[in-house]
């Protein structure tokens, strides 16, 4: 209960700061959407010149991309560790966090909350509905609970990977570049992984499992049997990677001694 109350307090604060520059707020939201749109434009342009991408039709690829947007929106709303090293380690704000009673990672999530990210999720769902109807997918009752389950699992995978990498900043002074690197690797997850070579497929499945935030879970709804067993592995991967993330975070916090000066 205490934690839910905190969420609302932080949201209130967020609204107050963001609405100071109202026009800019909207331009930022639109530019984020435009970034997503440019990926979609890429898909549409490509399929203007071909019928299939490694055995996947246009509507299927668009559907996968729509699914990919849903957990990513959830993740970018609640988990934003982009500036962690700069803001919390170098500038020493971690000390302030640790003197407060709530769980430190939870506080950091809340301080960087970004609700406009959820708009991406909404658009992702719309894209899935539109491309799903083009594919004549049989909508059955279990789609909704499974979609919710897979969305949460995929967001857990993102969170796990990024917490693990961010906790490196407790050990090294400036692991600059690792987080931006990840944001680029995750781009590989928006397309069916089967178009990449074996080494990259292995990497995206087992080491940095970005295939589990896009194509694997989405293939269940598309009825692609060759990936069915991978789709059902999603919850297991989510538990494993989130556990790795939280454990390495807690170990890192224990080791944290402050930047000192």
Partner 1 sequence: MLSAYTDFIRIRFLTMLAYRVNYYSGILIYMLNIGVYYFTWQAIYGGRGEIGGFTASQMTTYIAVSWMARAFYFNNLDREIANDIRDGSIAIQFIRPYNYLFVKMMQGFGEGLFRFSLFMIPGMLLALLLFPVRLPSDPIAWIGFLVMLFFSFLINSQLNILTGLMAFFVENNEGIMRMKRVIVDLFSGLVIPISLFPVWLGTIMQWLPFQAITYLPGSVFTGRTQGTGILDVFGIQVAWFVGLLIPIFLMWRAARKRLFVQGG
Rounded Cα distance, 188 and 255, in Å: 34
Sign, CA dihedral 165-171-172-173, equals positive
Look up residue 134 and give its two tokens: 């083009």
Rounded Cα distance, 225 and 216, in Å: 11
> Judged by CB under 8 A, does residue 210 bind partner 1?
no
> Judged by CB under 8 A, does residue 111 bind partner 1?
no
Q: How far is CA 15 from CA 42, 60, 119, 135, 232, in A?
A: 34, 37, 16, 40, 38
CB 18 within 8 A of CB 114: no
For residues 42 to 81, the per-residue mask of contacts with partner 1, x marking binding by CB under 8 A and - elsewhere, is x--xx-xxx--xx---------------------------
Binding range to partner 1, per CB under 8 A, among 130-138, 170-178, 217-225, 245-253: 170-178
CB of 38 to partner 1, least distance (A): 4
> Judged by CB under 8 A, does residue 41 bind partner 1?
yes
Nearer to partner 1, 32 or 111 (CB): 32
Backbone angles phi, psi at 196, to 5 degrees: -90, 170
Binder to partner 1 among 30, 122, 148, 251 (CB under 8 A)?
Answer: 30
- Residue 57: strand pairing partners: 52
Nearer to partner 1, 211 or 238 (CB): 211
Nearer to partner 1, 150 or 214 (CB): 214
Q: What is the DSSP string of 130-156?
A: HHHHHTT----TTHHHHHHHHHHHHHH
> Judged by CB under 8 A, does residue 17 bind partner 1?
no
Look up residue 126 and give its two tokens: 């719309």
> Judged by CB under 8 A, does residue 195 bind partner 1?
yes
Contacts with partner 1, residue ranges (CB under 8 A): 21, 23-32, 34-35, 38, 41-42, 45-46, 48-50, 53-54, 176-178, 180-181, 184-185, 187-188, 191, 195-197, 200
């Amino acid at each position: 209960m205490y934690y839910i109350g905190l969420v609302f307090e932080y949201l209130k604060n967020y609204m107050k700061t963001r609405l100071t520059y109202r026009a800019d707020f909207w331009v930022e939201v639109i530019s984020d959407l435009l970034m997503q749109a440019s990926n979609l434009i890429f898909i549409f342009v490509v399929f203007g010149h071909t019928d299939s991408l490694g055995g996947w039709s246009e509507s299927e690829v668009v559907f996968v991309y729509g699914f990919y947007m849903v957990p990513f929106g959830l993740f970018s709303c609640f988990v934003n560790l982009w500036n962690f090293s700069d803001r919390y380690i170098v500038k020493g704000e971690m000390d302030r966090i640790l003197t407060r009673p709530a769980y430190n990672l939870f506080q950091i999530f809340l301080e960087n909350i970004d609700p406009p990210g959820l708009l991406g999720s909404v658009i992702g769902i719309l894209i899935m509905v539109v491309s799903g109807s083009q594919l004549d997918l049989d909508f059955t009752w279990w789609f909704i609970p499974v979609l919710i389950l897979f969305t949460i699992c995929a967001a857990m995978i993102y969170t796990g990977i990024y917490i693990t990498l961010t906790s490196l900043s407790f050990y090294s002074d400036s692991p600059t570049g690792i987080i931006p690197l990840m944001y680029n690797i995750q781009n590989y997850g928006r397309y069916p992984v089967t178009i990449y070579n074996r080494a990259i497929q292995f990497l995206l499945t087992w080491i940095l499992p970005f295939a589990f935030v896009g194509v694997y879970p989405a293939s269940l709804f598309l009825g692609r049997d060759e990936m069915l067993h991978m789709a059902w592995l999603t919850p297991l991967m989510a538990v494993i990677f989130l556990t790795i993330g939280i454990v390495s975070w807690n170990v890192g916090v224990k080791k944290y001694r402050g930047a000192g000066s």
